[in-house]
Structure 1
Amino acid sequence: MTFGLENYIQNEYIRAIILLVGIFVVLKLFVFIIEKIVIKFTKKTQTDLDDKIIEKTSSPISLLILIIGIRIAVEEITAVQGNFEKIFNNIIYSLIIIVGGFIIYRVVDLVVARAWKRVAIKTKSNIDENLYSIVHGLLNFLWIIFVFLYVLTLWGIQVGPFLAGLGIAGIAVALALQPILSNIFSGISIVLDKTIRAGDLVYIEDKVKGKILEIGLRSTKIMTFDNELIIIPNSKLSDSIIQNVTLPEPKSRVIVPFSVAYGTDIEKVRKIVLSEISKIKHVSHDPSPIVRFVEMANSSLNFKAYFHVDSFDNRFEAIDEANTRIYNALNKNKIKIPFPTMDINLKKN
């Protein structure tokens, strides 16, 4: 493809350079149209899907134009033709397939992600979102395999015998990949079982405590209360004893122990403490807070205040506020708060 330049310019290298410059101009024009016209137009639409498609594909499309331009320019040089022409063409076409496949993948991925998100909103559950992260990883892997096999056919490699060879070696590979496959199927099982979800607060065998960030293809990520990231293989997680404090409902029970001195009016203590608990931020009144007289200890009357907060995230703030309010209220009503004492008697010789 010479565009008639050979009629005016005899030197093939100069023609190639002119074509490269022309491709560079086309690239600049493409970027200008995207930034100044297309993006302004897409921002006026009711959806942001087109904005994301432009954002994700503009760079690879520019790369695709550049590759095609190099192919056109180098075609002018006779030294590349002959023995090197087939190899060069295969390299260029392979790059076109890879970049083109990448562009198609990004567009399809954005469209599917948007559709999947709508389903998750309609079902009012994040199970679809969790499952998508696993399915997304599998589809990504399969798409890479598809593009790879297509490139092999371009180079004249027979895919049939290649796949047959893979089938024979598949047993050995499957055995080698058994831990990975176990994690993948465990992850799918966890998501479909709906016992834990991204965002849930969990205790795992009293060793790991935190919030689930992501249930992935191979592992699950948990952020602990100390802001540390814990990564657990899905197969190990599925075999663990898990306490999910977010299910079946987000409310969490709080227990606050406190003590008063002997001789204190028990009903008065209950009334004062219940009044203070009702003022706590995030407290839930279903079920209603209660105060139990649990023990007559050596030097104190021991109580426990039981109440619920709207979510586990507010549990520690509620405990702090409850302790503060109970302490101040008891002092205000001149109710003594005992503390352990020890009498020491000294005998004179």
Structure 2
Amino acid sequence: MLEIITSNYLRALVVAFVTLIVLRVLYFIIERITLKLTIKTKTDLDDLIIQKSSKPVTFLVLILSINLGIKELLLDNSVSAVILWIYQSLLIVSVAYIIHSIVDIMVSRSWKKRSRANRGVIRELSSFILGVLKVVLIILVAVYILHLWGVEITPIIAGLGIAGLAVALALQPTLSNVFSGMSVILDQTIMVGDLVYLDSETKGVIERIGLRSTRIKNFDNEMIIVPNSKIAEGKIQNVALPEEQSRVVIEFGIAYGSDIEKVKKLVLKEIKTIKNFIEKPEPVVRFTEMGDSALKFKAYFYVDSYENRFLSIDEANTKIYNVLNKNKISIPFPQMDVHIKK
């Protein structure tokens, strides 16, 4: 049939048009069949990948059709070579776009599955990863396209290496914090809402974990901004780990001569009435020391959350003081008797 068409341009147009129609119909059929199959799967990841890949695949079909049509023009070798370079360049760009789209979907889904407290952190990390991936893809595609067009890429690669080294040295403190932030986020040793102790002066609740720094709100309602490198390298006490329940220790003293067993029973009974008290592990009252002016005890019990720890300390101290007073058990204060010899 093509032999009847004498004009090369008309023949090229027909080939390109027919190829485009055939490939587009074929892709439409494959897409519909694939979508029907993906409906049966438990995840929607495959559906999103197919939808996201639709435009770049259509573009690939278009440039393939145009390339087949141009071959019918019987152009000179030099012109054909240029057209081939253009075709290959567009093909590489399309494939890179598809790769970026698929990674974008997978990374975006990773932070959407996280808890709300940690979702913002994962989103920020996802944006950073996608940004780095985009820059790397652009550089790789650009270098490869230049190579296709006959440009010497060795000096370019060397220049990129030197430029990258210079930037890395200039941004060393910032990059250190960024990679430390990524380590903290991925390790999940601290999360938003956790009560942490960094040192004797830095303690509070994690408000936000960024790529460069972490924000901690202390008990005076002040915001402390700590570089991530300090958090990654330092020792952190996380009250929220390994689980939310927290132990409370109450110290108190009674006068010499008091009934020790009675005191233990009274205090233990009061502890079990505390609002946020939990039964496991079991509470216990220990006689720890015979001090200079008092018999010293420690009461150990657990509450459901570290957030309720300070309220429980207040409630426990109040209940212990009241029950000791009610039962006429003296609570001595530190004193010293001085005997003077005449």
Task: Report the TM-score, using the length of structure 2 for normalisation.
Answer: 0.55
Match of 2:144 among 145, 153, 156: 153
1:326, CA displacement in angstroms?
Answer: 4.9
Match of 2:236 among 242, 253, 277: 242
1:49-60 map, 5 Å:
51=43, 53-60=45-52
Aligned residue number for residue 64 of structure 1 = 56
Match of 1:175 among 169, 173, 185: 169
Give the whole-Å Cα distance in 2 for the aligned partners of 1:190 and 1:174.
Answer: 21
1:160, CA displacement in angstroms?
Answer: 2.0
Give the whole-Å Cα distance in 2 for the aligned partners of 1:327 and 1:17.
Answer: 92
Q: Is the 8 A contact 1:57 1:106 kept in 2?
A: no
Aligned residue number for residue 341 of structure 1 = none
Q: Is the 8 A contact 1:255 1:304 kept in 2?
A: no
Structure 1 residues 139-163: Cα deviation after superposition (integer angstroms, max 9, x where no partner): 9846852563134212434432211
1:259-298 map, 5 Å:
267=260, 268-278=262-272, 280=274, 281-285=277-281, 288-290=284-286
Structure 2 CA distance for partners of 1:249 and 1:93, relative to 1, 3 Å? closer
1:175, CA displacement in angstroms?
Answer: 1.5
Give the whole-Å Cα distance in 1 for the aligned partners of 2:195 and 2:5.
Answer: 69
Give the whole-Å Cα distance in 1 for the aligned partners of 2:28 and 2:318.
Answer: 66
Structure 1 residues 271-303: Cα deviation after superposition (integer angstroms, max 9, x where no partner): 322212145532554673347899999xxx999
Amino acid at match of 2:284: S
Give the whole-Å Cα distance in 1 for the aligned partners of 2:223 and 2:57.
Answer: 42
Aligned residue number for residue 101 of structure 1 = 99
Aligned residue number for residue 128 of structure 1 = none
Give the whole-Å Cα distance in 2 for the aligned partners of 1:28 and 1:34.
Answer: 10
Structure 1 residues 129-188: Cα deviation after superposition (integer angstroms, max 9, x where no partner): xxxx99997798468525631342124344322111123334422221211332356468
Amino acid at match of 1:41: K
Structure 2 CA distance for partners of 1:38 and 1:71, relative to 1, 3 Å? same
Aligned residue number for residue 33 of structure 1 = 33
- Is the partner of 1:253 in helix, strand or coil? strand
Structure 2 CA distance for partners of 1:304 and 1:147, relative to 1, 3 Å? farther
Give the whole-Å Cα distance in 2 for the aligned partners of 1:189 and 1:182.
Answer: 11
1:164 aligns with 2:158: yes
Give the whole-Å Cα distance in 1 for the aligned partners of 2:156 and 2:142.
Answer: 13
1:54, CA displacement in angstroms?
Answer: 0.4
**Greater CA drift, 134-143 or 54-63:** 134-143
- Is the partner of 2:197 in helix, strand or coil? strand
1:307 aligns with 2:305: no
1:1-349 map, 5 Å:
29=29, 32-35=32-35, 37-43=36-42, 51=43, 53-72=45-64, 89=87, 92-102=90-100, 105=103, 141=132, 145=136, 148-155=139-146, 156=149, 157-183=151-177, 186=180, 197-199=189-191, 201-205=195-199, 206-211=201-206, 219=213, 232-238=226-232, 242-245=236-239, 252-256=246-250, 267=260, 268-278=262-272, 280=274, 281-285=277-281, 288-290=284-286, 306-309=299-302, 312-313=306-307, 315-316=309-310, 318-319=312-313, 322=316, 326=320
Q: What is the number of equivalent residue pairs in this alignment? A: 295
Give the whole-Å Cα distance in 2 for the aligned partners of 1:227 and 1:71.
Answer: 61
Aligned residue number for residue 337 of structure 2 = none
Amino acid at match of 1:168: I
- Is the partner of 1:42 in helix, strand or coil? coil
1:235, CA displacement in angstroms?
Answer: 1.6
1:61, CA displacement in angstroms?
Answer: 1.8
Structure 1 residues 231-264: Cα deviation after superposition (integer angstroms, max 9, x where no partner): 743223246563333568876432457899x9x9
Task: Report the TM-score, using the length of structure 1 for normalisation.
Answer: 0.55
- Is the partner of 2:41 in helix, strand or coil? helix
- Is the partner of 1:289 in helix, strand or coil? strand
Q: Is the 8 A contact 1:5 1:15 kept in 2?
A: no
Q: Is the 8 A contact 1:212 1:222 kept in 2?
A: yes
- Is the partner of 1:202 in helix, strand or coil? strand
Q: Is the 8 A contact 1:202 1:212 kept in 2?
A: no
- Is the partner of 1:254 in helix, strand or coil? strand
Identity %: 31
Structure 2 CA distance for partners of 1:41 and 1:258, relative to 1, 3 Å? same
CA RMSD of aligned residues (A): 6.1
Aligned residue number for residue 115 of structure 2 = none
Structure 2, unaligned runs of 5 or more:
111-123, 332-342
- Is the partner of 1:99 in helix, strand or coil? helix
